[in-house]
Structure 1
Amino acid sequence: MEKYPCPCCGCLTYSVPREDAIAYICPVCFWENDVFVTSDDEPSDENHGISLRTAQENYRSFGACARTMLRYVREPKPEEIPQ
């Protein structure tokens, strides 16, 4: 089965393309895909008002889309790490 990258962490955790992943939550960074957001800088209602760009910065800094989600995240599996 083909896997697609999470828009936040980039790990291959999506089983469908981003535009079809309605309300999908990435188990690696806990970003909830928001198909209604049209810009990476637009606040996402699905993610407590943070933007995708902020979530990406957060993931690089501390490993989750937001500090409040740290308890839910996990390390990526080997097959989820992009080549």
Structure 2
Amino acid sequence: MGKKSVKGRITKDMLIDELIREYPEVCEVLERFDLPCTECALAPTSTVENASQMHNIPLKELLRELNKAISNKDNNK
């Protein structure tokens, strides 16, 4: 199993499948980066870092946008 988010933060070691289950709002971010993770057979075993490498997406940028998405959800409560 991948690592959980640290203090409500998404990390590079989180599994994509767990990320989507825990934070469904990140699907919009993944789609913006052309990551079809909800349909990908590798989602249960791929980390955020793996996905960024496979799709040539800068990891820092992806993490920033994913964390922004969950931060916005928390701020709208």
The TM-score normalised by the length of structure 1 is 0.28
**TM-score (norm: length of structure 2):** 0.29
